[in-house]
């Protein structure tokens, strides 16, 4: 996984107070809603992609879409919460770490993760797939980190073969802006399924 791409991911998920064309809120990847087959063997299980993320404690119930990096930037569609396809990340609901991102601000209005910083340890997050199956996660830690720290964070990008984990990432709304208009740091919440 490229450090540059991870840094761009952390930046692209933020939005800014201004409608800056360099910080697009338009989708950067095609969303698939049909089941997809993993791996090359005929015995590989069919995986149904997730379609909805719910965080009751901060009143988030949003469409969950897949996005890929384009020119090393991941930009979730306006109004949606996106899981990152690629970089050896898994679909939300699978064993491994899934990176999920959404905007704090979209143009001049609140994005889906505007209140993500209100999450506390013990809060729940659920992911529902197209069949209606739901995986419930519990927040185990929250933190503010610089974009560089996030880009090398083992809890986000490290190997994980034991747990179903979500790394929820958005911009830190309190840390101010860099000269390029992007936020200085990110807010990260790690949640794991029982």
Residue with tokens 């791409």: 5
- How far out from the chain centre does Cα 47 lie? 19
Catalytic residue among 64, 150, 171, 190: 171
Instruction: State the Cα–Cα distance between residues 25 and 148, nearest whole angstrom.
Output: 22
CA dihedral sign, ordered 146, 156, 34, 63: negative
Catalytic residue check, 14 = no
Asked if 79 and 107 touch (Cβ cutoff 8 Å), the reply is: no
Instruction: State the Cα–Cα distance between residues 123 and 189, nearest whole angstrom.
Output: 10
Catalytic residue among 85, 89, 103, 164: 103
Tell me whether strands 134-146 and 185-193 are parallel, antiparallel or unpaired: antiparallel
Catalytic residues: 103, 171
């Amino acid at each position: 996984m490229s450090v540059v791409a991870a840094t761009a991911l952390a930046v692209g998920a933020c939005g800014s107070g201004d409608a800056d064309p360099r910080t697009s809120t338009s989708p950067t990847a095609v969303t698939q809603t049909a089941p997809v087959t993993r791996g090359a063997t005929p015995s590989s299980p069919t995986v149904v992609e997730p379609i909805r993320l719910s965080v009751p404690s901060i009143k988030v119930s949003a469409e969950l879409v897949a996005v890929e990096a384009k020119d090393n930037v991941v930009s979730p569609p306006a109004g949606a919460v996106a899981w990152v396809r690629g970089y050896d990340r898994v679909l939300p609901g699978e064993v491994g770490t899934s990176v999920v991102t959404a905007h704090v601000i979209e143009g001049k209005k609140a994005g889906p993760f505007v209140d993500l910083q209100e999450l506390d340890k013990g809060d729940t997050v659920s992911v529902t797939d197209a069949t209606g199956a739901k995986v419930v996660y519990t927040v185990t830690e929250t933190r503010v980190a610089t974009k560089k720290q996030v880009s090398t964070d083992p809890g986000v990008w490290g190997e994980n073969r034991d747990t179903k984990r979500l790394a929820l990432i958005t911009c830190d709304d309190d840390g101010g802006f860099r000269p390029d208009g992007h936020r200085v740091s990110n807010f990260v919440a790690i949640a794991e399924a029982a």
